Structure 1
Amino acid sequence: FQGKFPMFVAQVKDWQRQKYSVIIMTSSKDRGLRLKEGLWDNKIEAVVLPEILSAPVEGQVVITYGKLFSGFEFPAAKLVLVSDSELFGRSKLRRPRKQYDQGLRISDFSEIKPGDYVVHVQHGIGKYLGVINLEVQGVRKDYLHIQYFGQDKVYVPTDNVNLISKYVGAEGHKPKLHRLGTGEWVKTKKKVRESVKELAKDLLNLYAARETIEGFAFNRDTSWQAEFEEAFPFNETKDQVKAITEVKSDMEKSRPMDRLLVGDVGYGKTEVAMRGAFKAVMDNKQVAVLVPTTVLAQQHLRTFKDRFRGVPAKIEVLSRLKTPGEQKKIIAALEQGKVDIIIGTHRLLSKDVRFKDLGLLIIDEEQRFGVAHKERLKQLRQNIDVLTLTATPIPRTLHMALAGARDMSIINTPPENRYPVQTYVVEYSKELVVEAIRRELDRGGQVFYVYNLVSGLERRVSRLQKHLPQARIAIAHGQMPEKQLDKVMVEFIEGEIDILVCTTIIENGLDIGNVNTLIVENADRFGLSQLYQLRGRVGRSNRIAYAYFTYDKRKVLGETAEKRLNAIREFTEFGSGFKLAMRDLEIRGAGNLLGAEQHGHMLDVGFDLYCQLLEDAVRLLKGEPRKAAPGQQDVEIELNISAYVADSYIEEPALKLDVYHQLRDIDNEDELKEFEIELEDRFGQIPREVQNLFLIVQMRLLARRVGIDSIKEFRQEVRISFDKETAVKGNILMTLAKDFPRQLSFSSVGGLVIKLSKGNLSGSELGKRIIEILCRFEELAGARDYLI
């Protein structure tokens, strides 16, 4: 339920109507009491029981305490158990004040599981085996255990989690493990680096050539534009506002716009496009909207006409649903300038279609057009503004790599009042399917029933009609005559059909707010991206939507199929298209932007590193400084302090790893304090070993600010070494020596080193003393100009 309480209340009432007993398990007493209060406010009489000693009565709602990863529904016993994490959202720690405004971070460590392939910047591709706690010279720390070719293995200190990223390749692709101590990984990186350099050169040449072309500069917004935008019945999301501003700003420049707008299906890309279209029409320019299918053309026509109601703009559609006579009339009107906005399929690219004054071309899912169509598009788009829309995710890393080589806007925020799709992966049961469909029809909704064999569709229709005699059922598949298929789809969109029994023909682009239940039979036969796209067809309104991915109970699932179904069940939250272990999707997203020949290079080094190499190449060619690679330009800290997250504090390995990664990401003391409070709130009092981790992070933050390279402990002393560029005035060192009498000495051979005599100090006490010295040094350096 992802913390959406009204949605939970509605579901509990539904369970009560079906005479189910509901048990809710919360992690703390306070949470349980707050939940009880909330349910009573919504007329649900819940009771709190610290222990459940007998079965709850029919329709009773019981709140109890305990930890459970996920709940279950047991229809035979009329019992439902809901876990804390399902109600309040998965137990994933919030990143302190971090915002990734463009694209999505893909290497979230909570997504790395034992058995996953990972890429270490220095050692190459290995298999992650988990977190292991080791004692080295009397000091306990956690290490990431990574296996390489044969018996080779590496234990990576959790301090260096930033050197590791999850290996992301195409679905089903198993990378080769590298041998340690050979030049194999260095050669692979060199080959990919050379390839991306050529790619970066081509991209930048293309970009530079476009900068020199003279196009049409649209006027600034008029009061009509403001009125049109005010009429939008929803609140724009933050990302939408940013994308709209970027599009309009591009249109007002004299160079032609060529912007890619990326966003999950239903995230409001069309509204951005319509505002651009309105701006063009206001300057007496024509707008062409190119879509891949007739069904989508009809859908866009309805959306545009509805949104432009009251605006004196002539909107037409050109597709095979129009008779030859109608098409001829529309084409003639287009050439005479009597049509302002034309929406169409590839028919728009035919030689006989000419415009009087085309100003803006909007392309929906360009990658779905053929080679010949793309060539025609190239001719069309030479000096007009082009906005390309796509729902194929562009990961953040790739977006960063292409910054400056491609204009891109990314919408990651879901619209208001949109709920995640409730996803069930279950054995096929006729009763379950009929009950799910009946529930949807009872609330006036419609259903997609997907079965991917054309020969079995009729049989499914007869079976459903037998159990649901009142339902209006139709069939849709790619082998039907085009006109017949279009007719069925239009009738379904218009609400004249209740259940559409179909193949995966529905997987792309359909946006029908009234369809909120999806049944997929033999889901184990589909690819991950297909399952994700199918699920994206429901949940497009403010109603709760349900997706049932079913498999034959007599069949033993293969390992890949099981992994796929688990992944789709796991990622129910929004924007999970950017996350679904990214696998297939992000490789496809990258392929669309960069071309197929780069695919192999991505598989060689993993997606994250590939993007880093590409970003380096783009920066180099633009004459910008290269970004520091992970692990470079950071303070090296080697102290004999036991600093780790014990199993007794956080048991879940993925969550533990996320803590290490977030500590590594912290940029200032405010974030550190905030994270400490959150950790204590979630897991209780912080043990000493974890406090030591915070101590080391604070030390690193201070050291970074004052130009320190490393802090290392030796037998009798700790050496604090400054980088070679930092030269400090002697009076600061003298004051420091006075403040810490008989503890400090200094050396300037090969750069300044402050030596701290350990005396009786050790462990966290020694760590605190180092922090005191660094704080005082920063204070003195801030009070006077300390750099010579």
Structure 2
Amino acid sequence: GFEYKSIKFVVITDNEMIGVHKRTSTSKSKKQKKGKKIESFLDLNIGDYVVHENSGVGRYTGIEQITVNNIKKDYMKLVYQGGDNLYVPIDQMDKVQKYIGVEEDKVKLNKLGTNEWTRAKAKVKKEIEDMTKELIELYAKREKVKGYKFSKDTPWQGEFESLFPHQETDDQLRAIEETKKDMESDKVMDRLICGDVGYGKTEVAIRAVFKACMDQKQVAVLVPTTILAQQHYNTFKERFEGYPIRVEVLSRFKTPKQQKQIIEDAKKGLVDVLIGTHRIISKDINMPNLGLVVIDEEQRFGVKHKESLKKIKSTVDVLTLSATPIPRTLHMSLSGIRDMSVIEEPPQERHPVITYVTEAKESIIQDEIERELGRGGQVFFVYNRVERIEEMASMIQRLVPDAKVAIAHGRMTSKDLENIILGFLNKEFNVLVCTTIIETGMDISNANTMIVYDADKMGLAQLYQLRGRVGRSTRQGYAYLMYEKDKSLSEIAEKRLKAIREFTEFGSGFKIAMRDLEIRGAGNILGSQQHGHMAVIGYDLYVKMLNEAIKKVKGEVVSEDIDVEIDLSVNAYIPDNYITDELIKIEMYKKIASIESKEDMYEVQEELEDRFSDIPKSVETLLKIAYIKTLCKKLKIEKVRQIKDEILLNPLTRYKTKEKIGYNIVNELEELLENMCNLKSN
């Protein structure tokens, strides 16, 4: 606001009157992102298991340069059962994916020259098609059911949203918009909000809940833990203050008498928002005006719980929040069965959590606790064995005598646990020695150091969730993942800790989910079993076949995937003196293989020139071959072969094609081939 004293004129903003300060930042990027492309995020290293779509599971041993008739080309070398080698031309590397299926020691290599792989693929394809039909029918029924059509935003909605004390990110605003659009249609909503830990998924849910309440609808918020239920209850109460919305929580922090009263009031329609664990989907809970169900941290619930929730009311809108999406959910969304909004943009002024993996040493524990307390902060010390948790608390008290240490675990009475958590929130304690009970729901901005003892015994997604409890404010967060001194870690534990240390940057939730799949092995993503057909053909190929099956069942046109084989007498490779690092070389080969248009080709060319200087002739040829492949796919040409001064196209559909598609593509292809192979027009 401002004041002109000379003319007795004052302007006061709404925020000054209401007393809420919204943090804004002038550095906020206004650049609108295009639709997110979710990839498998996996790099290929020498020794990794891979799947070749036509030859099966092999092991990648590196890139080899082979010269035939004075023509140099790079090939990916894959080793199969019995020591057989397969050399895959680099321009066909899109046929090779990293294998994710079962743990490494259980991977079975295929044998070249047998029908084993073809039979395995055919069997999986049949199973996928059967399963897809069932699933599509299930979701088609849901599509046909007319849901409740929520009204457009009320003036109160606008006022309520303006009270949000932070600056929303573009991704957040888009997720909110998409959710509201779903609610305002008569289709039953089934939307998944995927966003990293602390990226503002809850705010998306809060606005949807408020919208539902404005139409006199009741809302059920389902969460996996008592602590998260309490945290959500506090957040919702605070955000809805001043509005006629009654929020209640059903948890063990409430007495049996209080619980009975809440259930009774919910039945009468007096409770607008009911938050709780799976207790709220029990048969004795009845919400007559239920219009929206919010499921937080979906992967923590069993399929049974989720299904019984949907049965409560076939016309209920469902909004699911997930930080490390289980691949089943992720790919149901990608396959177009469910709608999904991705929040990839971190909140402003946030820093990625600095992560260390180290042996458990008293000196490190002491130093880190003292450093955090020295800046007025608080510390989570996670130890997941209740029997010895008091010993750990005593050790910390001995190492840091000034620390105010408290203990929290799931076997405590609800009253004691509530007092401890509230005490920690109110800064009565500055070190909380606890089990993984704090994995979800603890949002304490002053706690920015976490020490996880015996981190090697925990799952990757669990470590990721735990680490998300710190660094939730503008302060730098630190996580120390410790394992016992002199202990030799299992290969899987070592991989987990390495992955969590690698993925410290923002938006790592997807990467974590994918890497967890790679380490643990994957099951049938659309069934509840953990090890299914995916173990046979690998994750990427399974998902590709699944997407095709879903398109077929939905009646969509599945474009035929044409394998284009290009055999030209030209040098097409990346020289070692141009890109020396093999991993970077593979990265660039991948980008070249994914060229689908002339614009793509120019983009990759620009990147190569920008990163590695002027491109050599052999690289320029490689780019042109990738583009030629794209043109051939459009013309349904499967093979381009050079014999001396002639180029043969197979099948030869040139004249038919000219009439159908027009001369442009054919002429462009001919011109490219003539120039590249130094041929005269023929």
* 2:471 corresponds to which of 539, 558, 575: 539
* 1:457-479 residue CA offsets vs partner (Å, 9 max, x unmatched): 22222222123222211222334
* 2:372 corresponds to which of 416, 437, 440: 440
Match of 2:355 in 1: 423
How far apart are 1:601 and its partner, in Å? 1.2
* Contact preservation (8 Å) 1:507, 1:530: yes
Letter in 2 for 1:101: G
Match of 1:32 in 2: none
Structure 2 distance, partners of 1:551, 1:586, is 22
1:646 aligns with 2:575: yes
* Contact preservation (8 Å) 1:286, 1:341: yes
* Contact preservation (8 Å) 1:421, 1:547: yes
1:727 aligns with 2:656: yes
Structure 2 distance, partners of 1:236, 1:480, is 38
**Structure 1 residues 718, 405: CA separation in 2 closer, same or farther (over 3 Å shift)?**
same
Match of 1:477 in 2: 409
Match of 1:251 in 2: 183
Match of 2:27 in 1: none
Match of 1:664 in 2: 593
Q: Secondary structure at the match of 2:166?
A: coil
* Contact preservation (8 Å) 1:133, 1:142: yes
1:574 aligns with 2:506: yes
* 2:35 corresponds to which of 77, 90, 101: 101
Structure 2 distance, partners of 1:331, 1:492, is 30
Match of 2:419 in 1: 487
TM-score (norm 1): 0.75
Structure 1 distance, partners of 2:214, 2:593, is 51
* 1:277-332 residue CA offsets vs partner (Å, 9 max, x unmatched): 11111111111212122101111012112222332222222222112232233233
Q: Secondary structure at the match of 2:570?
A: coil
* Contact preservation (8 Å) 1:107, 1:165: no
* Contact preservation (8 Å) 2:327, 2:513: no
**Structure 1 residues 501, 138: CA separation in 2 closer, same or farther (over 3 Å shift)?**
same
* Contact preservation (8 Å) 2:229, 2:441: no
* Contact preservation (8 Å) 2:172, 2:200: yes
Structure 2 distance, partners of 1:586, 1:594, is 17
Structure 2 distance, partners of 1:523, 1:497, is 24
1:140 aligns with 2:72: yes
* Contact preservation (8 Å) 2:503, 2:511: yes
Structure 2 distance, partners of 1:592, 1:682, is 41
Letter in 1 for 2:406: A
* Contact preservation (8 Å) 2:169, 2:346: yes
How far apart are 1:418 and its partner, in Å? 2.5
- What does 1:8-47 correspond to in 2, within 5 Å? none
Structure 2 distance, partners of 1:188, 1:756, is 40
How far apart are 1:676 and its partner, in Å? 2.5
Match of 1:675 in 2: 604
**Structure 1 residues 599, 679: CA separation in 2 closer, same or farther (over 3 Å shift)?**
same
**Structure 1 residues 603, 130: CA separation in 2 closer, same or farther (over 3 Å shift)?**
same
Structure 1 distance, partners of 2:203, 2:96, is 39
* Contact preservation (8 Å) 2:189, 2:316: yes
Q: Secondary structure at the match of 2:512?
A: coil
Match of 2:129 in 1: 197
- What does 1:308-457 correspond to in 2, within 5 Å? 308-369=240-301, 373-374=305-306, 376-393=308-325, 399=331, 403-457=335-389
1:461 aligns with 2:376: no
How far apart are 1:557 and its partner, in Å? 3.5
Structure 2 distance, partners of 1:352, 1:601, is 39
Q: Secondary structure at the match of 2:591?
A: helix
Structure 1 distance, partners of 2:32, 2:164, is 30
* 2:147 corresponds to which of 215, 220, 237: 215
Structure 2 distance, partners of 1:263, 1:461, is 34
How far apart are 1:241 and its partner, in Å? 2.7
* 1:639-675 residue CA offsets vs partner (Å, 9 max, x unmatched): 2222222222222211110100111222333333333
**Structure 1 residues 582, 279: CA separation in 2 closer, same or farther (over 3 Å shift)?**
same
Structure 2 distance, partners of 1:311, 1:508, is 28
The 10-residue stretch of structure 1 (189-198 or 511-520) with the greater mean CA deviation from structure 2? 511-520
Match of 1:767 in 2: 676
1:523 aligns with 2:455: yes
**Structure 1 residues 145, 445: CA separation in 2 closer, same or farther (over 3 Å shift)?**
same
Match of 1:763 in 2: none
* Contact preservation (8 Å) 1:118, 1:125: yes
* Contact preservation (8 Å) 1:401, 1:614: no
* Contact preservation (8 Å) 1:476, 1:502: yes
Structure 2, unaligned stretches of length 5 or more?
A: 1-30
Q: Secondary structure at the match of 2:573?
A: coil
* 1:693 corresponds to which of 618, 622, 634: 622
Structure 1, unaligned stretches of length 5 or more?
A: 1-96, 741-752, 759-765, 775-788
**Structure 1 residues 591, 246: CA separation in 2 closer, same or farther (over 3 Å shift)?**
farther
* 2:112 corresponds to which of 180, 200, 204: 180
* 1:195-224 residue CA offsets vs partner (Å, 9 max, x unmatched): 211221121111111123233211122222
1:234 aligns with 2:166: yes
Structure 1 distance, partners of 2:520, 2:83, is 34
Identity of aligned residues (%): 50
Q: Secondary structure at the match of 1:201?
A: helix
Match of 1:289 in 2: 221
**Structure 1 residues 711, 592: CA separation in 2 closer, same or farther (over 3 Å shift)?**
closer
Structure 2 distance, partners of 1:672, 1:415, is 34
1:154 aligns with 2:154: no
Structure 2 distance, partners of 1:352, 1:755, is 74
Structure 1 distance, partners of 2:673, 2:37, is 48
CA RMSD of aligned residues (A): 3.5
How far apart are 1:588 and its partner, in Å? 8.8
* Contact preservation (8 Å) 1:398, 1:590: no
Structure 2 distance, partners of 1:98, 1:357, is 38
The 10-residue stretch of structure 1 (439-448 or 397-406) with the greater mean CA deviation from structure 2? 397-406
* Contact preservation (8 Å) 2:101, 2:523: no
Structure 2 distance, partners of 1:407, 1:176, is 36
How far apart are 1:132 and its partner, in Å? 1.7
Q: Secondary structure at the match of 2:487?
A: coil
How far apart are 1:402 and its partner, in Å? 5.2
Q: Secondary structure at the match of 2:81?
A: coil
* Larger relative contact order (CA 8 Å, sep ≥ 6): 2
How far apart are 1:586 and its partner, in Å? 7.7
Structure 2 distance, partners of 1:491, 1:437, is 18
* Contact preservation (8 Å) 1:709, 1:722: yes
Match of 2:540 in 1: 608
Q: Secondary structure at the match of 2:475?
A: coil
Match of 1:40 in 2: none
Count of residue correspondences: 651
* Contact preservation (8 Å) 2:524, 2:532: no
Q: Secondary structure at the match of 2:592?
A: helix
How far apart are 1:182 and its partner, in Å? 1.0
* Contact preservation (8 Å) 1:695, 1:768: no
Letter in 1 for 2:372: E
Structure 2 distance, partners of 1:734, 1:381, is 57
Structure 1 distance, partners of 2:569, 2:415, is 75
* Contact preservation (8 Å) 2:172, 2:343: yes
Letter in 2 for 1:195: E
Letter in 2 for 1:258: D
